[in-house]
Amino acid sequence: MHMRYLCAILFHGKMKTENPLPNRFSVFAGPCSAESLSQLQDVAGFISQWNQSQGLKIQALRAGAWKPRTHPGQFEGYGRKAIGWLQRIKKEYGLAVATEVATTHHVECCLKAGIDILWVGARTSSNPFLMQEIASALQGCTLPVWIKNPISPDLGLWRGAVERIAKASKGTVGAIHRGFGICNPAPYRNAPLWEMAVEMKRSCPQTPLLCDPSHIGGKRELVAGIAQTSVDLEMDGLMIEVHPRPEEALSDAPQQLALDALGKLLSGLRFRDTQGSTARMTQIRCILDEIDDELVQLISRRMRLVEEIGRLKKASNLSVLQMNRWNAVVERALAQARAQGLDEDFVRDLFNCIHSEALRLQQ
Ligand code: PEP
Ligand code: MN
pLDDT in tens, 62-77: 999 999 988 999 999 9
pLDDT in tens, 85-122: 999 999 999 999 999 999 999 999 999 999 999 999 99
Q: State the distance from the centre of ligand 2 to the C-alpha of 346, rounded, in angstroms.
A: 46
CA dist 279 and 281 (Å) reads 5
Average pLDDT across the chain, whole number: 92
pTM for the whole thing? 0.78
215 lines ligand 1 (CB under 6 A): yes
Which of 119, 212, 223, 239 has the most ligand 1 atoms within 8 A of CB, as the residue to mutate? 212
Q: At a CB cut-off of 8 Å and minimum separation 6, what does 99 contact?
A: 34, 62, 63, 64, 65, 66, 82, 83, 86, 110, 115, 117, 118, 119
Q: State the distance from the centre of ligand 1 to the C-alpha of 66, rounded, in angstroms.
A: 10
Asked if residue 4 has pLDDT above 70, the reply is: no
Locate the ligand 1 atom nearest the alpha carbon of residue 251 and give its number.
3
179 lines ligand 1 (CB under 6 A): no
CA dist 33 and 79 (Å) reads 10
98 lines ligand 1 (CB under 6 A): no
Which phi and psi angles does 274 have, rounded to 5°?
A: -100, 10
- Domains, in order of start, for the chain: 18-273 (3.20.20.70), 278-362 (1.20.59.10)
90 lines ligand 1 (CB under 6 A): no
Residues with CB under 5 A from ligand 2 (ion): 32, 252
pLDDT in tens, 175-208: 999 999 999 899 999 999 999 999 999 999 999 9
32 lines ligand 1 (CB under 6 A): yes
Asked if residue 130 has pLDDT above 80, the reply is: yes
Strand 26-30 vs strand 209-211: parallel, antiparallel, or unpaired? unpaired
Contact indicator for 236, 25 with CB cutoff of 8 Å? yes
Q: State the distance from the centre of ligand 1 to the C-alpha of 252, rounded, in angstroms.
A: 9
